[in-house]
Protein backbone atom coordinates (compact mmCIF):
# COMPACT_ATOMS: atom_id res chain seq x y z
CA UNK A 1 0.00 0.00 0.00
CA UNK A 2 2.84 2.42 0.84
CA UNK A 3 4.46 1.94 -2.56
CA UNK A 4 1.10 2.29 -4.31
CA UNK A 5 0.42 5.55 -2.47
CA UNK A 6 3.93 6.82 -3.25
CA UNK A 7 3.73 5.92 -6.94
CA UNK A 8 0.26 7.43 -7.24
CA UNK A 9 1.48 10.67 -5.70
CA UNK A 10 4.79 10.82 -7.60
CA UNK A 11 3.08 10.06 -10.89
CA UNK A 12 1.20 13.33 -10.50
CA UNK A 13 4.26 15.39 -9.58
CA UNK A 14 5.59 17.51 -12.43
CA UNK A 15 9.14 16.17 -12.41
CA UNK A 16 11.36 14.51 -15.01
CA UNK A 17 13.64 12.80 -12.47
CA UNK A 18 12.81 11.43 -9.03
CA UNK A 19 15.26 10.27 -6.34
CA UNK A 20 13.88 7.79 -3.78
CA UNK A 21 15.47 6.50 -0.57
CA UNK A 22 14.45 3.77 1.89
CA UNK A 23 12.79 1.76 -0.87
CA UNK A 24 13.26 -1.47 1.15
CA UNK A 25 13.21 -3.89 -1.78
CA UNK A 26 14.86 -7.09 -0.48
CA UNK A 27 15.32 -9.08 -3.70
CA UNK A 28 15.21 -8.97 -7.50
CA UNK A 29 11.60 -10.21 -7.61
CA UNK A 30 10.56 -7.12 -5.63
CA UNK A 31 12.58 -4.90 -7.99
CA UNK A 32 10.90 -6.38 -11.07
CA UNK A 33 7.50 -5.83 -9.48
CA UNK A 34 8.33 -2.21 -8.64
CA UNK A 35 9.47 -1.58 -12.21
CA UNK A 36 6.18 -2.90 -13.53
CA UNK A 37 4.19 -0.78 -11.11
CA UNK A 38 6.05 2.42 -12.02
CA UNK A 39 4.42 3.10 -15.38
CA UNK A 40 5.52 6.70 -15.97
CA UNK A 41 8.96 5.83 -17.39
CA UNK A 42 12.20 3.90 -16.80
CA UNK A 43 13.39 3.19 -13.26
CA UNK A 44 16.68 2.03 -11.72
CA UNK A 45 16.85 0.37 -8.30
CA UNK A 46 19.41 -0.69 -5.72
CA UNK A 47 18.38 -3.48 -3.33
CA UNK A 48 18.05 -3.00 0.42
CA UNK A 49 21.17 -4.70 1.78
CA UNK A 50 19.98 -3.89 5.31
CA UNK A 51 16.59 -3.02 6.83
CA UNK A 52 15.10 0.28 5.64
CA UNK A 53 17.80 0.91 3.02
CA UNK A 54 17.51 0.91 -0.77
CA UNK A 55 17.56 3.72 -3.33
CA UNK A 56 16.01 4.29 -6.75
CA UNK A 57 15.97 6.82 -9.59
CA UNK A 58 12.70 7.13 -11.50
CA UNK A 59 12.05 8.94 -14.77
CA UNK A 60 8.87 10.33 -16.27
CA UNK A 61 10.42 11.21 -19.64
CA UNK A 62 12.49 9.44 -22.29
CA UNK A 63 16.08 8.90 -21.20
CA UNK A 64 19.15 7.07 -22.51
CA UNK A 65 21.10 5.53 -19.65
CA UNK A 66 24.79 5.30 -20.56
CA UNK A 67 26.15 3.87 -17.30
CA UNK A 68 24.88 2.60 -13.95
CA UNK A 69 27.16 2.38 -10.91
CA UNK A 70 25.89 0.81 -7.71
CA UNK A 71 28.57 2.38 -5.53
CA UNK A 72 27.14 0.85 -2.38
CA UNK A 73 24.18 -1.51 -2.40
CA UNK A 74 21.14 0.19 -0.97
CA UNK A 75 23.06 3.39 -0.25
CA UNK A 76 24.31 5.03 -3.42
CA UNK A 77 23.29 4.74 -7.06
CA UNK A 78 25.05 6.71 -9.83
CA UNK A 79 23.63 7.10 -13.33
CA UNK A 80 25.16 8.77 -16.38
CA UNK A 81 22.26 9.63 -18.67
CA UNK A 82 21.42 11.53 -21.82
CA UNK A 83 18.14 13.35 -21.35
CA UNK A 84 16.61 15.93 -23.66
CA UNK A 85 19.97 16.30 -25.38
CA UNK A 86 21.88 16.95 -22.14
CA UNK A 87 24.50 14.77 -20.43
CA UNK A 88 23.74 14.37 -16.72
CA UNK A 89 25.35 12.56 -13.82
CA UNK A 90 22.77 11.61 -11.20
CA UNK A 91 24.00 10.59 -7.74
CA UNK A 92 21.33 9.37 -5.33
CA UNK A 93 22.45 8.80 -1.74
CA UNK A 94 20.91 7.38 1.40
CA UNK A 95 23.46 8.12 4.12
CA UNK A 96 24.48 5.29 6.48
CA UNK A 97 23.54 5.43 10.15
CA UNK A 98 27.03 5.92 11.61
CA UNK A 99 29.33 8.91 11.18
CA UNK A 100 32.24 6.71 10.14
CA UNK A 101 30.26 4.93 7.42
CA UNK A 102 28.82 8.22 6.17
CA UNK A 103 32.23 9.81 5.82
CA UNK A 104 33.56 6.73 4.05
CA UNK A 105 30.70 6.84 1.55
CA UNK A 106 31.11 10.59 0.98
CA UNK A 107 34.80 10.02 0.20
CA UNK A 108 33.99 7.23 -2.25
CA UNK A 109 31.49 9.47 -4.05
CA UNK A 110 33.96 12.35 -4.31
CA UNK A 111 35.79 11.24 -7.53
CA UNK A 112 32.47 11.05 -9.38
CA UNK A 113 31.78 14.74 -8.72
CA UNK A 114 34.60 15.86 -11.04
CA UNK A 115 33.07 15.59 -14.49
CA UNK A 116 32.07 17.79 -17.41
CA UNK A 117 28.53 16.45 -17.09
CA UNK A 118 25.97 18.41 -15.13
CA UNK A 119 25.90 16.86 -11.65
CA UNK A 120 22.75 16.34 -9.60
CA UNK A 121 23.85 14.97 -6.23
CA UNK A 122 21.08 14.51 -3.70
CA UNK A 123 19.04 12.40 -1.36
CA UNK A 124 18.89 11.67 2.36
CA UNK A 125 22.41 12.34 3.67
CA UNK A 126 21.54 11.58 7.30
CA UNK A 127 23.82 14.52 8.12
CA UNK A 128 23.43 18.26 8.43
CA UNK A 129 25.91 20.76 7.03
CA UNK A 130 25.03 23.65 9.38
CA UNK A 131 24.24 23.46 13.08
CA UNK A 132 21.05 25.44 12.46
CA UNK A 133 19.79 22.63 10.20
CA UNK A 134 19.13 20.38 13.19
CA UNK A 135 16.31 21.76 15.29
CA UNK A 136 17.35 22.55 18.86
CA UNK A 137 21.00 21.61 18.28
CA UNK A 138 23.66 24.16 19.18
CA UNK A 139 26.66 21.84 19.11
CA UNK A 140 29.45 21.56 16.56
CA UNK A 141 29.26 19.72 13.29
CA UNK A 142 30.38 16.11 13.40
CA UNK A 143 33.39 15.02 11.37
CA UNK A 144 31.28 13.42 8.64
CA UNK A 145 29.45 16.72 8.09
CA UNK A 146 32.76 18.58 7.97
CA UNK A 147 34.00 16.12 5.36
CA UNK A 148 30.85 16.58 3.26
CA UNK A 149 31.23 20.38 3.33
CA UNK A 150 34.87 20.06 2.30
CA UNK A 151 34.05 17.69 -0.58
CA UNK A 152 31.30 19.97 -1.88
CA UNK A 153 33.66 22.94 -1.77
CA UNK A 154 36.47 21.10 -3.60
CA UNK A 155 34.05 19.89 -6.28
CA UNK A 156 32.58 23.39 -6.63
CA UNK A 157 29.10 22.22 -5.68
CA UNK A 158 26.43 24.33 -4.03
CA UNK A 159 23.49 23.34 -1.84
CA UNK A 160 20.44 24.49 -3.81
CA UNK A 161 18.52 25.44 -0.66
CA UNK A 162 21.37 27.51 0.80
CA UNK A 163 22.03 29.24 -2.51
CA UNK A 164 18.50 30.63 -2.71
CA UNK A 165 17.41 30.90 0.96
CA UNK A 166 20.53 30.88 3.16
CA UNK A 167 18.72 32.33 6.17
CA UNK A 168 15.92 29.76 6.21
CA UNK A 169 16.26 26.40 7.97
CA UNK A 170 13.93 24.55 5.60
CA UNK A 171 13.56 21.36 7.64
CA UNK A 172 12.88 18.25 5.54
CA UNK A 173 12.53 15.55 8.22
CA UNK A 174 10.09 15.42 11.13
CA UNK A 175 9.61 12.71 13.74
CA UNK A 176 7.94 13.63 17.01
CA UNK A 177 9.79 16.63 18.43
CA UNK A 178 12.79 16.07 16.16
CA UNK A 179 13.27 18.03 12.97
CA UNK A 180 16.23 18.56 10.67
CA UNK A 181 17.35 19.30 7.13
CA UNK A 182 19.14 16.10 6.21
CA UNK A 183 17.70 15.91 2.67
CA UNK A 184 19.26 18.18 0.06
CA UNK A 185 20.51 18.57 -3.49
CA UNK A 186 23.88 19.79 -4.72
CA UNK A 187 24.55 21.29 -8.15
CA UNK A 188 27.63 22.77 -9.78
CA UNK A 189 28.28 26.41 -8.96
CA UNK A 190 27.50 27.53 -12.50
CA UNK A 191 24.17 25.64 -12.63
CA UNK A 192 20.98 27.67 -13.05
CA UNK A 193 18.16 26.46 -10.84
CA UNK A 194 14.97 27.52 -9.10
CA UNK A 195 14.62 27.74 -5.30
CA UNK A 196 13.72 24.54 -3.47
CA UNK A 197 10.13 23.74 -2.55
CA UNK A 198 9.60 21.50 0.50
CA UNK A 199 6.34 19.54 0.41
CA UNK A 200 5.01 17.31 3.20
CA UNK A 201 3.70 13.90 2.10
CA UNK A 202 1.45 11.41 3.87
CA UNK A 203 3.49 8.27 3.23
CA UNK A 204 6.83 9.40 4.73
CA UNK A 205 8.36 11.35 7.62
CA UNK A 206 10.61 13.02 5.03
CA UNK A 207 9.35 15.86 2.87
CA UNK A 208 9.46 15.95 -0.91
CA UNK A 209 12.07 18.38 -2.24
CA UNK A 210 11.33 19.97 -5.61
CA UNK A 211 13.43 22.28 -7.78
CA UNK A 212 13.94 23.04 -11.47
CA UNK A 213 17.30 22.93 -13.24
CA UNK A 214 17.86 24.88 -16.43
CA UNK A 215 20.41 22.56 -18.00
CA UNK A 216 20.22 24.14 -21.46
CA UNK A 217 21.56 27.50 -20.24
CA UNK A 218 24.12 26.12 -17.77
CA UNK A 219 27.69 26.69 -19.08
CA UNK A 220 29.67 23.56 -19.90
CA UNK A 221 33.04 23.19 -18.16
CA UNK A 222 35.54 21.28 -20.28
CA UNK A 223 35.90 17.50 -20.45
CA UNK A 224 36.71 16.73 -16.83
CA UNK A 225 39.81 14.69 -15.89
CA UNK A 226 42.69 14.42 -18.33
CA UNK A 227 44.28 10.97 -18.64
CA UNK A 228 47.82 10.60 -19.94
CA UNK A 229 50.01 7.55 -20.49
CA UNK A 230 52.74 7.67 -17.83
CA UNK A 231 55.60 6.82 -20.19
CA UNK A 232 55.14 10.09 -22.06
CA UNK A 233 56.39 12.02 -19.04
CA UNK A 234 59.91 10.80 -19.75
CA UNK A 235 60.00 12.69 -23.05
CA UNK A 236 61.63 16.13 -22.91
CA UNK A 237 59.34 17.44 -25.66
CA UNK A 238 56.27 16.47 -23.67
CA UNK A 239 57.57 18.24 -20.58
CA UNK A 240 58.30 21.32 -22.67
CA UNK A 241 54.79 21.26 -24.11
CA UNK A 242 53.41 21.38 -20.57
CA UNK A 243 55.53 24.42 -19.79
CA UNK A 244 54.51 26.19 -23.00
CA UNK A 245 50.82 25.49 -22.42
CA UNK A 246 50.84 26.68 -18.82
CA UNK A 247 52.76 29.80 -19.80
CA UNK A 248 50.08 30.61 -22.40
CA UNK A 249 47.31 30.20 -19.82
CA UNK A 250 48.62 32.73 -17.32
CA UNK A 251 46.60 35.64 -18.66
CA UNK A 252 43.33 33.75 -19.17
CA UNK A 253 40.30 34.30 -16.92
CA UNK A 254 42.34 36.41 -14.54
CA UNK A 255 44.28 33.37 -13.33
CA UNK A 256 47.37 34.18 -11.31
CA UNK A 257 50.05 31.81 -10.06
CA UNK A 258 51.50 32.87 -6.71
CA UNK A 259 54.67 30.82 -7.06
CA UNK A 260 57.21 30.40 -9.81
CA UNK A 261 55.90 27.01 -10.82
CA UNK A 262 52.71 25.09 -11.36
CA UNK A 263 52.33 21.64 -9.86
CA UNK A 264 50.54 18.85 -11.69
CA UNK A 265 49.30 16.03 -9.50
CA UNK A 266 49.24 12.43 -10.66
CA UNK A 267 49.08 8.90 -9.33
CA UNK A 268 52.08 6.58 -9.38
CA UNK A 269 51.17 2.88 -9.48
CA UNK A 270 54.37 1.47 -7.96
CA UNK A 271 57.81 2.32 -6.56
CA UNK A 272 59.65 1.29 -9.75
CA UNK A 273 57.67 3.76 -11.85
CA UNK A 274 58.39 6.53 -9.38
CA UNK A 275 62.18 6.19 -9.76
CA UNK A 276 62.22 6.68 -13.53
CA UNK A 277 60.44 10.00 -13.90
CA UNK A 278 62.45 13.25 -13.83
CA UNK A 279 61.29 15.96 -11.47
CA UNK A 280 59.41 13.59 -9.16
CA UNK A 281 58.80 14.48 -5.55
CA UNK A 282 56.80 12.53 -3.06
CA UNK A 283 56.37 11.23 0.47
CA UNK A 284 58.20 8.39 2.16
CA UNK A 285 55.15 6.21 2.68
CA UNK A 286 55.47 2.68 1.30
CA UNK A 287 51.84 2.61 0.20
CA UNK A 288 51.24 2.61 -3.54
CA UNK A 289 49.74 4.00 -5.62
CA UNK A 290 50.62 7.45 -4.37
CA UNK A 291 49.90 10.90 -5.69
CA UNK A 292 53.09 12.65 -6.79
CA UNK A 293 53.65 16.15 -8.00
CA UNK A 294 55.56 17.29 -11.06
CA UNK A 295 56.63 20.91 -10.74
CA UNK A 296 56.79 22.80 -14.04
CA UNK A 297 58.27 26.31 -14.11
CA UNK A 298 56.16 28.98 -15.77
CA UNK A 299 58.70 31.81 -15.48
CA UNK A 300 62.46 32.02 -15.55
CA UNK A 301 62.48 32.25 -11.78
CA UNK A 302 63.37 29.22 -9.70
CA UNK A 303 61.10 27.78 -6.96
CA UNK A 304 61.60 29.11 -3.47
CA UNK A 305 64.40 27.34 -1.55
CA UNK A 306 63.12 24.43 0.50
CA UNK A 307 59.69 24.50 -1.13
CA UNK A 308 58.08 21.04 -0.94
CA UNK A 309 54.96 20.16 -2.89
CA UNK A 310 52.24 18.37 -0.92
CA UNK A 311 51.69 14.64 -1.14
CA UNK A 312 48.26 13.05 -0.92
CA UNK A 313 47.28 9.41 -0.63
CA UNK A 314 44.92 8.09 -3.26
CA UNK A 315 43.72 4.84 -4.80
CA UNK A 316 44.02 3.71 -8.39
CA UNK A 317 44.78 0.72 -10.54
CA UNK A 318 46.57 0.22 -13.83
CA UNK A 319 49.30 2.21 -15.53
CA UNK A 320 47.22 5.21 -16.65
CA UNK A 321 47.70 8.14 -14.30
CA UNK A 322 45.01 10.70 -13.63
CA UNK A 323 45.90 14.39 -14.00
CA UNK A 324 43.96 17.37 -12.75
CA UNK A 325 45.05 20.93 -13.49
CA UNK A 326 44.99 22.99 -10.28
All structural domains of the chain, each given as residue ranges with its CATH number in brackets, are 2-210 (3.60.10.10), 226-325 (no CATH)
pLDDT of residue 149: 95
Strands 312-313 and 290-297: antiparallel
Better-scored residue on pLDDT, 34 or 9: 34
Crossing angle, helix 99-109 and helix 143-154, to 10 degrees? 10
Using alpha carbons, select from 263, 281, 267, 261 the residue that is nearest to residue 228.
267
Lowest-pLDDT range, 5-9, 131-135, 191-195, 315-319? 315-319
Find which of 17-26, 204-213, 277-286, 292-301 is predicted with most confidence, using mean pLDDT: 17-26
pLDDT confidence bin for 139, thresholds 50/70/90 = confident
What does the alpha-carbon distance between residue 234 and residue 249 come to, in Å, rounded to a whole number?
Answer: 23
Average pLDDT over residues 48-59: 91
pLDDT of residue 9: 81
Whole-number percent of the chain with pLDDT over 90: 40
pLDDT, tens only, 141-175: 999 999 999 999 999 999 999 999 888 888 888 88
SS3 241: helix
> Quick one: CA dihedral 32, 38, 40, 42, positive or negative?
negative
pLDDT confidence bin for 301, thresholds 50/70/90 = very low
Amino acid sequence: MARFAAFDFLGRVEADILFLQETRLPNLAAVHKARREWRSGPSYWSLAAEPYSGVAVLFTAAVECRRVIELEIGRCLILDVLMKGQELRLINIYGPQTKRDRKDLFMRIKPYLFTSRQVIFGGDFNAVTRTRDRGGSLGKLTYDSVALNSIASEARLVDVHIRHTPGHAGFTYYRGECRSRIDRFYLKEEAISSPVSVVEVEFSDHCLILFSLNVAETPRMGRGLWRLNSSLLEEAEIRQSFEDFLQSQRALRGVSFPSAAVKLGFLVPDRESATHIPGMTGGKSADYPRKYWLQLPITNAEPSPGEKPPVRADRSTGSIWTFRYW
